[in-house]
Amino acid sequence: MREYRFLFSPQWLGWFGLAVLFAIVCAFLGHWQLDRRTETVAAIDTIEQNYDHTPLPFAQAAGQFRQFDSAREWTPVQMTGRYLADQTRVVRNRPLNGLPGFEVLVPFRTTDGPIVVIDRGWLPLGSNGDPSAVPAPPSGTVDVVARLKHAEGPLDRGAPAGQLASIDLTTYAAQVDGALGAPLATGAYGALDEEKPAPATSPTAFPRPSLDEGPHLSYAMQWFAFGLLGFVGLGYAARQQAWVNRNGGLDDDEDIPAHLRSGAIRKRPRRRTRTTAEDEEDALLDAAGWR
């Protein structure tokens, strides 16, 4: 195996180290994709378990609006109360089906519990950068079914008056608590499913959340395969170099097999061991005494 001694040279050890580093990076990215898939699958399981659940009476779910259990996300809750429409806010930068727009938040004073936030739906972006019109919620006593959703965190950007940068209920509460006469629940909000009586016009209803887990698993397998291919490529290059060493080098391009003519394999001179037609002709001339 003397032709493989070159593998212990600094150059080839460097190539091996590079292949190892490449494999480590690919393994890290592959596990990152697997972690993302695990999170996505868990979210899908929560949707499948809760989305079509029979609506809970508000008395059973009131505590979720104060301190939310993420395992109850998407669970529908039935409640009765009145919208406090004068404290409506729209949330900026909320795309739906690839279109920019807003979501409409309205405080809802329940008849037997805290004031909660209802997200009534989506509005498209108007020509001036604001929603063209915000439909008013029903007045008087309203029966609402809304699905529990976790509050969002704050963003490092502001918003004009009457708007919010995210569904950050703590910021919302700081703006409206004084006008409501009671604290606003900030643990969770409700994404509207239905309201009775129904108004003449409403924001666009939210679609059913997607159950597609995405390409995370295939991406993970691709990254793991890329990590292995680095060693496969290094092994192939080593095999070709060993072939060159075993044959004592190459004379010229005519002696190079087609798959070695790319220039990737280092060539070195060797003794000519093959008798050419010119050599045979010279020998015949010398034997006949003609030279």
Question: CB within 8 A of 10, min separation 6: which ones?
Answer: none
Evaluate if residue 140 carries a pLDDT over 90. Answer: yes
Evaluate if residue 251 carries a pLDDT over 70. Answer: no
Cα separation, 68 vs 151, whole angstroms: 9
pLDDT band of residue 252 (cuts 50, 70, 90) is very low
Evaluate if residue 154 carries a pLDDT over 50. Answer: yes
pLDDT band of residue 240 (cuts 50, 70, 90) is confident
**Cα–Cα separations (whole angstroms), residue 69 to 50, 74, 85, 148:** 13, 11, 28, 10
Evaluate if residue 100 carries a pLDDT over 60. Answer: yes
Q: In angstroms, how far is the first alpha carbon of the chain from the final one?
A: 47
Mean pLDDT throughout 229-247? 85
**What is the structure's pLDDT at 257?**
57
Looking at the chain, the whole-number percentage of residues with pLDDT higher than 90 is: 60
**What is the structure's pLDDT at 129?**
74
**What is the structure's pLDDT at 32?**
96
Evaluate if residue 247 carries a pLDDT over 50. Answer: yes
Question: CB within 8 A of 187, min separation 6: which ones?
Answer: 64, 65, 66, 67, 68, 151, 169
Cα separation, 68 vs 115, whole angstroms: 15
Domain boundaries, the chain: 2-32+217-288, 52-196
The chain-wide mean pLDDT, for the chain, equals 86
Mean pLDDT throughout 123-128? 83
What does the chain come to in residues?
Answer: 291
Evaluate if residue 209 carries a pLDDT over 60. Answer: yes
**What is the structure's pLDDT at 162?**
87
pLDDT band of residue 288 (cuts 50, 70, 90) is low
Cα separation, 41 vs 43, whole angstroms: 5
Place of tokens 């393994």: 27
Cα separation, 120 vs 252, whole angstroms: 78
Q: Where are the beta strands (DSSP E) in the chain?
A: 56-57, 76-83, 89-91, 101-110, 115-124, 142-150, 163-164, 188-196
Output 238 or 81, whichever has higher pLDDT: 81
Strand partners, 82: 109
Evaluate if residue 245 carries a pLDDT over 60. Answer: yes
Rg of the chain (C-alpha set):
36
**What is the structure's pLDDT at 265?**
47
Q: Which helix (H) or strand (E) holds 233?
A: helix 216-246
What are the pLDDT digits (tens) for 35-80?
999 999 999 999 999 999 999 999 999 999 999 999 999 999 999 9
**What is the structure's pLDDT at 290?**
57
pLDDT band of residue 201 (cuts 50, 70, 90) is very high
Mean pLDDT throughout 82-89? 94
pLDDT band of residue 239 (cuts 50, 70, 90) is confident
